[in-house]
Homo-oligomer: A and B are copies of this chain.
Amino acid sequence: MQLLLVEDQKRLAMPIRRSLVEDGYMVDIASDGQEALDKFEINKYDLVILDVMLPVRSGTQVCSEIRKTDTDTPILMLTALDGVDDRITGLDSGADDYLVKPFAFGELSARVRALLRRSPSGRAAIVTVDELTLDPAAKTISYRGKFLPLTAKEYTLLSYFMYRPGQLLSKNELLEHVWDMNYDGLSNVVETYVRYVRRRLREAGETRELITTVRGLGYRLDP
């Protein structure tokens, strides 16, 4: 599950992100309206969390902009005011739900879950690829019914692959989404962790290479 959080205040964005990551989502952050629209075009998100107060473009503007091309992806708006005006303009622009600041993280979590359940892309259900099974609630991945002993990063990486089976994932993309890093040519964390994950699979009895290397381009989890 990939979420886009649009919030310009770092103080607010980071804790929210943290809380959502703990719920098992991958969270990208955009800090203004333009960046939000750019990211939305490039990536596929399951849900967008949108602050109304934004620099460059307001949240409602971003919302209607998104709705021009996409009517499915649920949008959750964060508003500082409880005013009726905000709600109405927001509703008109195509948001699916509202949350008035300040809110408890638990509340946000519940709304997000509810919105994702409603959406056609489905809920945080169990994902199966080949003989691998991912349980998002338990944060476990098992191979032939046996739990893989994965560390947090290993789990995040493998789950990222499992949500995108057969898809070629560049090291940049992995760096960005699994590590929150920008391009950094001198690090080889990705290689290292792909190796760790492969080792786990090997230790679990898998002999094939489930994760294929595509030289110069990235990696792919073969279904």
Q: Could you list which residues of chain A lie within 8 angstroms of chain B, going by C-beta atoms? A: 15, 18-19, 22, 104-107, 109-110, 114, 117, 135, 137-140, 151-152, 166-168, 170, 172-173, 176-177, 183, 214-218, 220
Contacts and interface: CB of A to CB of B under 8 A. Distances in A.
Given A137-B166, A168-B138, A152 B214 contact: yes
Nearest to A220: B138
Contacts of A19: 110, 172
Contacts of A176: 104-106
Contacts of A170: 22
Nearest to A111: B22
Contacts of A151: 215-216
A139 B176 CA distance: 20
Given A22-B170, A167-B138, A172-B22, A110 B105 contact: yes
Contacts of A220: 138-139
Given A105-B106, A105-B176, A216 B166 contact: no
A215 B155 CA distance: 12
Contacts of A173: 22
A133 to B, nearest CB: 13
A139 B216 CA distance: 12
A57 to B, nearest CB: 31
Given A22-B117, A139-B217, 7 more contacts: A19-B172, A22-B218, A105-B106, A105-B107, A105-B110, A138-B168, A152-B217
20 contacts: A19-B172, A22-B110, A22-B170, A22-B217, A22-B218, A104-B106, A105-B106, A106-B106, A106-B109, A137-B167, A137-B168, A138-B167, A138-B220, A139-B168, A139-B217, A139-B220, A140-B166, A151-B215, A151-B216, A152-B217
A124 to B, nearest CB: 11
